[in-house]
Amino acid sequence: MGARRARQFKIKIAPQEHGANKAMFPSTYWRLSGFYFFYFAFAGAFTPYWGLYLQSLEFTAFQISVLMSLMQVARIFAPNAWGWLADHTGKRIAMVQLAALLSLVCYLGVFVAENFWWMFAVIALTNLFWSASSPLVEAITLGHLGAGSERYGRIRLWGSLGFIVIAIILGYVLDYVPVRVLLWATLGITVGILLCACRIPVSQVVAHPTDDHSVWHILRRPEVALFLLACFCMAAAHGAYYTFYSIFLVDHGYSKSVVGWLWALGVISEMFAFLWMPRLFARFGLRRILLASFALATLRFFVIGWGVNVVELVILAQILHAASFASYHSAAVALVHQMFRGRHQVKGQGIYTSVSYGLGGTLGGVLSGYTWSALGAGWSFTLSALFALAGGLVLMLRKRYASNTENTM
């Protein structure tokens, strides 16, 4: 029985640099999955609930918006800096562990003081080190998968599960206990991140002919630059969604419990998409999956903006999170792993994170703050749809430069 269960978690790896097939050991699968679980559980505690804690400290709406934006701002700088350091030293695991330790140490500052500038420093530093881990672990995970990168989603789905479990549990808990309990819950999660970081297995960095080139040599390639521009557009498209979606629903008569379950529905849909990724990759390839993701994201944001009064359309829009995030992100990280090879892999994942979720996410959030007041919710989400459409058009332009291997992955 135990042997049968162990075989269920073996992830096949197609032959790449070596002649024989390999399989990811069950222990490797669970160690990586555990890190993803706790890493995104942190986001599941911070994104929905930290605004409530900051509100309890009597910060103004502007101060809360500044503090909550620090997670995205950190993603502009940290992934690139830590990615360069990890690739330069070759000590990827050590960098993940150091980032997790420093994130925990900085987080302890929330128990020291509660004034605005102290919280600004604590949240900024905590997120600076928390966000540094993402591209490192993405590169390590894809290194273990080798040519079987289409199975990345089966590990990444544990991050989605971590987000939804913590978000739902804390939602119920905070109905009955003071919001300050959130500080201790988040502390437990950061400890979990550190413990899992200490268990991440080493992956081999395979030498590649581009190792002697600078990363700028890769970035100057038209297909790489256009791909990153498309990713920037996709992240910008989500700006109004992550900033105002809950407020938008409540303003239209949805209860907070329903709002919570609609967020959960989006994450559940992405989990199923991650499970289906191997079949989708095999059948359609990276390029087609990306194009479909952008097309469905365009539809999703348009529906959110103008279909909020129809429950069925609201549900449909949340199910489409499977495309606007899960299928898009799975294909994107796999493509980054193709374009940035050898010692540039972590830098590549860091650049992808910085350009898309960092720069694109920050621009989308800030821009939505202006359009929400000036144009209203419907047109703000229409702008989101136009960002997604623009990203899809950029991908179509990129097709003339891209290699045919993307269609067969």
Which residue segments constitute the domains of the chain, with CATH numbers given? 29-201 (1.20.1250.20), 213-409 (1.20.1250.20)
Residue 220 is classified by DSSP as T
Cβ atoms of residues 218 and 338 within 8 Å: no
Place of tokens 């969604």: 241
**Is there a contact between 75 and 354 (Cβ–Cβ < 8 Å)?**
yes
User: Measuring CA to CA, how many Å separate 142 from each of 273, 295, 367?
Assistant: 18, 26, 34
Q: Quick one: pLDDT at residue 308?
A: 94
**139-159 core/surface letters (b: 16 or more CB in 10 A; e: else):** bbbbbbbbebbbbbbbbbbbb
Distance CA 374, CA 365 (A): 15
83: left (phi over 0), alpha (psi -120 to 50) or beta: alpha
CB 181 within 8 A of CB 169: no
Reference 82, options 319, 267, 358, 289; nearest CA is: 358
Distance, C-alpha 82 to centroid of its chain: 17
C-alpha to C-alpha distance for 140 and 203, rounded to whole angstroms: 6
The tens place of each residue's pLDDT in the chain, 409 residues long, gives 444 444 443 434 333 333 333 455 677 888 889 999 999 999 888 877 887 788 889 888 677 777 877 887 888 888 777 777 777 777 888 889 999 999 999 999 999 998 999 999 999 999 999 988 887 888 788 777 766 656 777 888 899 899 888 888 887 888 788 889 999 999 999 999 999 999 988 765 555 455 555 677 888 888 899 999 999 999 999 988 887 787 788 888 888 678 778 888 998 998 898 888 888 888 888 889 999 999 999 999 999 999 999 999 999 999 999 999 989 988 998 898 888 876 777 788 888 888 888 889 888 888 887 888 789 899 999 999 999 999 999 999 887 766 554 554 4
pLDDT in tens, 179-236: 899 999 999 999 999 999 999 887 655 554 555 556 778 888 888 999 999 999 999 9
Q: What is the pTM of this model?
A: 0.75
Q: Which two tokens stand for residue 319?
A: 């199910």
Q: What is the pLDDT of residue 187?
A: 96
